[in-house]
Structure 1
Amino acid sequence: MPKDTTDTPETLLDIRNLSVDFRTPRGRVKALRDISFPVRKGRIVGIVGESGSGKSTVLWALLGLLAKNAEVTGGEVRFGDRDLLHASEAHLRATRGEEISVVFQDPMTSQIPVLTYGRQMRDILYRRPELSANEKRRMAVEMLGKVGIPDADKRIDQYPHHFSGGMRQRAGIAMALLTGPQLLLADEPTTALDVTMEAQIIHLLQDLQKELDATVVVVSHNLGLIAELCDDVVVMYAGEVVEAGEVREIFHNAQHPYTRALLECDPARIDDVSRKLPVIPGDIPDLTRALSGCIYAPRCQRRMPLCNGQTPPEVARGEASFARCHLLEGPHHDPDWPPPLDVMTVGLDGAAKSKPTHTKRGESLLEISDLNVRFETIGPLRARLKGIAERHVDAVFDVSLTVGPGETVGLVGESGSGKTTLGRAVLNLVASQAGAIRFEGQDIRNMPENRFKPLRRDMAMMFQDPVGSLSPRKSVRALITEPFHIHGHTGVNLDTEAERLAEMVRLPKAFLSRYPHELSGGQARRVGVARALALNPKLIIADEPTAGLDVSVQGEILNLMADLQAEHGLGYLIITHNLPVVRHIADRLAIMYLGRIVEEGRTAEVFRHPVHPYTRALVEGVPQPDPDRRRMHVSISGEVPSLLNRPKGCDFAGRCPLAQDRCRAEKPPHVTLADGRRHACHFPLT
């Protein structure tokens, strides 16, 4: 790749040989090593790679926001005619927000919860003393309107907790663009969003980039988002750039084995749902150790002896396109490399096991009937003083669902649809107000804890946050054996059980002495699986089991869960908004909207021919890892209605393109079709 890119007029940001170390008790972590790539003006550049590859470190290095134990050991970051790495703190403060802005991953932690958006956006413009308070407010309202916040002149006086997740992210984008920056940095901007909100944010960023002629750098491990949003792509692995190029070159003709492996692991690319998901064997190397040769060699299916000792050449394909691999140039150049992308260059993590066959017709492990979970929104005294008649919201409304032994049921819906509340109600973690919950025929709804505790041995939950759900003060060994202490299993050898469980989830025994902060997301998820399986349960409720994980780690976790189900006959209730994942693992699918199941049926049939407009919008809204299949429109516009103001008729009527007067006036009943599928729609799709 040419190093004199600053001579090219369209280069806005040029990162040259950037190296960053972190000082830790285990030694220096060489997080970035000789990173070089340009960011061309007016383009959207995506940085992609597994967790730990250094994607976010690049952003924080160029902004001067690295942690105190970080040290920039070399390189330049040229922004125009300035080197940001050697700029003074005063100069960096003047640059941040004015010329370079950031959209953070989690808007709830990056926005001030006790200040209104009006106050926060006015504070952003503190460097504009020539503007009056009214003028600043006008600019803020105008920007909120541009990002699609309805009634912006009224919503600007609200607080972050008044906004949904998608609206908070929109507000974060508005705040970042308020000063008219030349460069916008977005760190995982859609990770916590559903497919519909993700589509809206993608289209919003594209529209604003064109309208404002801005340059955008997006960090993500979501290949569908990168393919749909970006013009250029930079692929990072273990602190190095292994390939870069235009988005179509990367997704249609990837040169580096790692890039190809990432693409082949994406479940959205895999049509055959009967086989196991591919994975990249091994882990990212320990960056505290001296590294030589190709950094990817230990995991590469095409490695050669020289890969372990010789640095691969950088092979250019154009002005800003290159890849680093011995297969591309030199004495070991392979003229047949790269093969077509449908040729697997990654592993399958062992042989696939068949689904258990002991599920009996009509047998239910878990049976939920007409369940209703209500939450109080205001106390009786305040409600009487304010004249409020309805003090509750129905978080789960009229839900019926079954899970059989050895069966996987996927529960899908947008944030706020009641999925997690339903799972917690099954486990007696929240009270329910109506209906029935039966486990192996026994009614367990609101069962007293002293009677319910023995049943917890047969039911377990995998929580959404794999690290946050683990006590930071306990080792992995203590965490996965904790259920034995809770349920009084005093006669077991805990060391033996810890090793058995670690082996079951393919976690190295050396990890038993580690603590949660020393684990990657995938490793922490394995600990959660091991703890859930400690007492050999019959039912596992998994809340977003792949959230925040890279595509290869997703495959490892899902393959592991499938193997354990085949071996032990486990029943799974999988709560997720990741449709490509649930398509591969679920036998049946239940679609939930505003606390109510609107469609349920066999997964293949639901994906092949959805009958509810909401289901169709979800299926069509999945971003594809193919830049030639970009969506031209958003599948669902608008926001999920508030539970405080549930529509009188169909809950989806306000967003449904097919809604009629009957839909707005009358709530649709559940109807069972000839093939066993159920739906709640007055005018189902045919």
Structure 2
Amino acid sequence: MGTAPETLLDIRNLSVDFRTARGRVKALRDITFPVSKGRIMGIVGESGSGKSTVLWSILGLLAGNAEVMGGEILFQDDDMLRMGPTAMRATRGEDISVVFQDPMTSQIPVLNYARQMFDILYRRRNMTKAEKRKAAVEMMRKVGIPDPESRIDQYPHHFSGGMRQRAGIAMALLTGPKLLLADEPTTALDVTMEAQIINLLRELQSDLEATIVLVSHNLGLIAELCDDVVVMYAGEVVEVGTVHEIFHNAQHPYTRALLECDPARISDVSRKLPVIPGDIPDLTKPQQGCIFASRCQRRMPECRTVEPPKAMRASGGYANCHLLEGPLRDPDWPPPLDVLTVRSGESSVAEKREPDGTPLLEVEDLNVRFRTVGPVKAKMRGIEDPFVDAVLDVSIKVRPGETVGLVGESGSGKTTLGRTVLNLQHAEGGTVRFEGQEIRNMPEARFKPLRRDMAMMFQDPIGSLSPRKSVRALITEPLQVHGVKGVDLDAEAERLADMVRLPKPFLTRYPHELSGGQARRVGVARALALNPKLIIADEPTAGLDVSVQGEVLNLMADLQAEHGLGYLIITHNLPVVRHISDRIAIMYLGRIVEEGRASEIFSKPLHPYTQALVEGVPQPDPDKRLTHVAVKGEVPSLLNRPKGCDFATRCPYAQDRCRAEKPGHETRADGHSHACFFPLH
């Protein structure tokens, strides 16, 4: 028999309260689990379950209104909760490092990345400035940032959301920590970069014998990367086990519900996604019995009043449930995982209107350019063309009642395209027509009336919300801006909150009091407030747990069926886009390289890049882990766009013609188009 793994981090009976105007929020209650050295521990659960609070407790980074009520956090036998400020500062960054969920708020906007990474290495007094810069550049290259030698001197606002997250991961890995805490580290990343980050974290674990604690909503990422899993719900640990135990033999009804809500597990795209009914309980109120009882489909009267027993596993894991131990034990529980234990609503989505033949939105040959240097510097340096094409010759249509998914790697120009359609970004050339009217670069005074019919869900859920306004004010702000008369704003706020499953007590909160998933729901409610005809949704489900993803997607499908809405969905999440989209457009380096019906994109991709995206999706099954990175190499720089096909530098099928000529778009009889000299089918 092998020896038991050494415990590097041991959390014992950790309880944390937050003092608020509504009373004490008991955010964590008796949290207990060990983290073994050299293993990756995943923490999964719905938004607001306390996952991130566990991480901040470890590092002593809890908010000022937090109070640790009891417990221990032992790191190498030292209790982090009783560590002095000097010892804590010496531990942070060196022995324990962290990747934050929101890179825009965790990175300093007025300092370039070189300065921020130098500051991380301030204890390395034996390293020269040149050596520190070299180490920083190499780490940025390792996480897939193109042109790191020049981009290290740029600022966070120069990077896309995904590249900011890559930079955050690079900064966290710079010191070679013994313990890496990662809070949703791949939320903003596309699947190809996600696969590279997964391999990077595996290499870190192997080369440095590092230990990782990973918080994520992405069950595929947890299955792909983790050795052990902790399932949390409403401030409690409900199940602990190895990754195979959790994904193949989940015991707790909540764990099973999470797994069954994952779009990646559901092959039938014709029906609504399953959701978990009800809401997370109000943690300001005393809790009795099983914390999940109010939402559990298998609950018994005793579940609401009697504390559930702990059913132990041979591996040392456990699950807290009456169905597993004690006098209420059910010999038929748990059933096979393909039996739904959560509410799936109607068996199919609401009957959808056939998309009208007349496009609601029509974009043709759109070109968006950004200046790289000012005119004076360009003249001094002899730069004849100081611009980069972020969007190049893009054509796309969205008809009423149609959902078009726009998929591509971070930095490919998807968000820029969406912002240009909404007149938030100047376009250099091409046409943008909405209901037949040309709107490209339209003056704001003329464009404002059209904004009632066009809405956007922004990528950054917290940064897009005013920190000075309550959730109630934020949700109803569009109604006030456009002067909607005869509406009860309070009633409307409650209706919209119900629509996105945001508990009514949250209406009095402010953005900084929300988790990432809760802030996302506020953004969805704002976008839906005016019942627009066209919604451009930039990562609408990023940061949301799988159950709420299903709720949002079902809601969007219902609204589309009822009102004939057109959606342009910008996302990295391929399982989501497969369920909601009629057509999918694949974007790479500012150009659309393939477009077709969603079913064909997934079953018969024509472009090698599309194939790599489809094959690179992490599956919620630890037995189906990716054995290789679907796409290797770095995304070419827009400053040095390849002469031929943009994907030729990374394509495993590239030939000499691909490197010399830029392929045009070819459309087949079924409407499936591609930009490839040698299509796969």
TM-score (norm 2): 0.92
Report the CA distance shift for 1:313/1:491 in structure 2 as closer, same or farther (over 3 A): closer
Structure 1 residues 479-488 or 193-202, which shifts more? 479-488
Partner of 1:4: none
Separation of aligned partners in 2, 1:559 and 1:520: 22
Matching residue within 78, 86, 91 for 1:95: 91
Question: Are 1:651 and 2:646 matched, yes or no?
Answer: yes
**AA partner of residue 332 (structure 1):** L
Matching residue within 66, 74, 78 for 1:78: 74
Structure 1 residues 107-116 or 578-587, which shifts more? 107-116
Separation of aligned partners in 1, 2:78 and 2:392: 58
Matching residue within 10, 31, 36 for 2:6: 10
Matching residue within 523, 542, 545 for 1:547: 542
What is the SS of the residue equivalent to 2:391? strand
Question: Are 1:306 and 2:277 matched, yes or no?
Answer: no
What is the SS of the residue equivalent to 1:465? coil
**AA partner of residue 245 (structure 2):** E
Question: Are 1:432 and 2:456 matched, yes or no?
Answer: no
8 Å CA contact retained: 1:104, 1:186: yes
What is the SS of the residue equivalent to 2:612? helix
Report the CA distance shift for 1:229/1:670 in structure 2 as closer, same or farther (over 3 A): same
Partner of 2:32: 36
8 Å CA contact retained: 1:532, 1:540: yes
Q: CA deviation at 1:170?
A: 5.3
Q: CA deviation at 1:323?
A: 0.7
Separation of aligned partners in 1, 2:483 and 2:110: 45
Matching residue within 612, 629, 635 for 1:617: 612
Report the CA distance shift for 1:437/1:301 in structure 2 as closer, same or farther (over 3 A): same
8 Å CA contact retained: 1:257, 1:300: yes
Q: CA deviation at 1:630?
A: 0.5
Question: Are 1:272 and 2:268 matched, yes or no?
Answer: yes
Separation of aligned partners in 1, 2:147 and 2:442: 46
Report the CA distance shift for 1:93/1:8 in structure 2 as closer, same or farther (over 3 A): farther
Separation of aligned partners in 1, 2:679 and 2:479: 49
Matching residue within 671, 675, 678 for 1:680: 675
Partner of 1:464: 459
Q: CA deviation at 1:516?
A: 4.5
8 Å CA contact retained: 2:231, 2:240: yes
What is the SS of the residue equivalent to 1:218? strand
Partner of 2:586: 591
Matching residue within 412, 416, 419 for 2:414: 419
Report the CA distance shift for 1:522/1:67 in structure 2 as closer, same or farther (over 3 A): closer
What pairs up with 1:344-383 in 2 under 5 angstroms? 344-349=340-345, 352-360=348-356, 362-383=357-378
Report the CA distance shift for 1:81/1:576 in structure 2 as closer, same or farther (over 3 A): closer
What pairs up with 1:128-143 in 2 under 5 angstroms? 129=125, 131-133=126-128, 137=132, 140=135
Question: Are 1:233 and 2:229 matched, yes or no?
Answer: yes
Q: CA deviation at 1:497?
A: 5.2
Report the CA distance shift for 1:93/1:415 in structure 2 as closer, same or farther (over 3 A): same
Q: CA deviation at 1:156?
A: 9.5
Separation of aligned partners in 2, 1:420 and 1:117: 23
Q: CA deviation at 1:535?
A: 3.6
Q: CA deviation at 1:659?
A: 1.2
8 Å CA contact retained: 1:505, 1:530: yes
Q: CA deviation at 1:171?
A: 5.3
8 Å CA contact retained: 2:500, 2:551: no
Question: Are 1:578 and 2:573 matched, yes or no?
Answer: yes
What pairs up with 1:435-446 in 2 under 5 angstroms? 435-446=430-441
Separation of aligned partners in 1, 2:532 and 2:123: 59
8 Å CA contact retained: 1:141, 1:156: no
Report the CA distance shift for 1:79/1:479 in structure 2 as closer, same or farther (over 3 A): closer
Report the CA distance shift for 1:264/1:81 in structure 2 as closer, same or farther (over 3 A): same
Structure 1 residues 63-72 or 525-534, which shifts more? 525-534
What is the SS of the residue equivalent to 2:430? strand
What is the SS of the residue equivalent to 2:535? strand
8 Å CA contact retained: 1:47, 1:218: yes
Q: CA deviation at 1:65?
A: 2.3
Question: Are 1:183 and 2:156 matched, yes or no?
Answer: no
Report the CA distance shift for 1:222/1:353 in structure 2 as closer, same or farther (over 3 A): closer
Report the CA distance shift for 1:449/1:478 in structure 2 as closer, same or farther (over 3 A): same
Separation of aligned partners in 2, 1:466 and 1:314: 37
Question: Are 1:281 and 2:257 matched, yes or no?
Answer: no
Separation of aligned partners in 1, 2:178 and 2:498: 51
Question: Are 1:256 and 2:252 matched, yes or no?
Answer: yes
**AA partner of residue 647 (structure 1):** P
Question: Are 1:60 and 2:64 matched, yes or no?
Answer: no
8 Å CA contact retained: 2:407, 2:571: yes
What is the SS of the residue equivalent to 2:214? strand
- RMSD across aligned positions (CA): 2.9
8 Å CA contact retained: 1:19, 1:32: yes
Separation of aligned partners in 2, 1:363 and 1:213: 59
Separation of aligned partners in 2, 1:139 and 1:371: 39
Question: Are 1:559 and 2:554 matched, yes or no?
Answer: yes
Structure 1 residues 609-618 or 165-174, which shifts more? 165-174
Separation of aligned partners in 1, 2:501 and 2:101: 30
For residues 536-575 of structure 1, the C-alpha deviation after alignment (integer angstroms, 9 at most, x for no partner) is: 3222211211111111111111111111111111111111
8 Å CA contact retained: 2:363, 2:432: yes
Report the CA distance shift for 1:513/1:247 in structure 2 as closer, same or farther (over 3 A): closer
5+ long unaligned stretches in structure 2: none
8 Å CA contact retained: 2:44, 2:215: yes
Report the CA distance shift for 1:385/1:121 in structure 2 as closer, same or farther (over 3 A): closer
TM-score (norm 1): 0.91
Report the CA distance shift for 1:639/1:533 in structure 2 as closer, same or farther (over 3 A): same
8 Å CA contact retained: 2:143, 2:196: no
Identical amino acids, percent of aligned pairs: 75
For residues 205-248 of structure 1, the C-alpha deviation after alignment (integer angstroms, 9 at most, x for no partner) is: 10121112222211212111111111111111111111111111
Q: CA deviation at 1:432?
A: 1.7
Q: CA deviation at 1:683?
A: 1.0
Separation of aligned partners in 2, 1:612 and 1:239: 45
Number of equivalenced pairs: 678
Structure 1 residues 423-432 or 466-475, which shifts more? 466-475
Structure 1 residues 408-417 or 434-443, which shifts more? 434-443
Separation of aligned partners in 2, 1:397 and 1:154: 26
**AA partner of residue 230 (structure 1):** C
Separation of aligned partners in 2, 1:415 and 1:447: 28
Matching residue within 266, 288, 294 for 1:292: 288
Matching residue within 441, 450, 464 for 1:455: 450
8 Å CA contact retained: 1:312, 1:326: yes
Separation of aligned partners in 1, 2:52 and 2:546: 18
**AA partner of residue 329 (structure 2):** H
Question: Are 1:325 and 2:325 matched, yes or no?
Answer: no
Report the CA distance shift for 1:249/1:681 in structure 2 as closer, same or farther (over 3 A): same
For residues 17-54 of structure 1, the C-alpha deviation after alignment (integer angstroms, 9 at most, x for no partner) is: 11111222222111111111111121111111112111
Report the CA distance shift for 1:616/1:81 in structure 2 as closer, same or farther (over 3 A): same
Partner of 1:3: none
Q: CA deviation at 1:163?
A: 6.8
8 Å CA contact retained: 2:406, 2:571: yes
Partner of 2:65: 69
Q: CA deviation at 1:281?
A: 1.2
Q: CA deviation at 1:400?
A: 1.1
Separation of aligned partners in 1, 2:517 and 2:108: 31
5+ long unaligned stretches in structure 1: 1-6
8 Å CA contact retained: 1:522, 1:557: no
What is the SS of the residue equivalent to 2:289? coil
Separation of aligned partners in 2, 1:472 and 1:143: 36
Q: CA deviation at 1:328?
A: 0.4
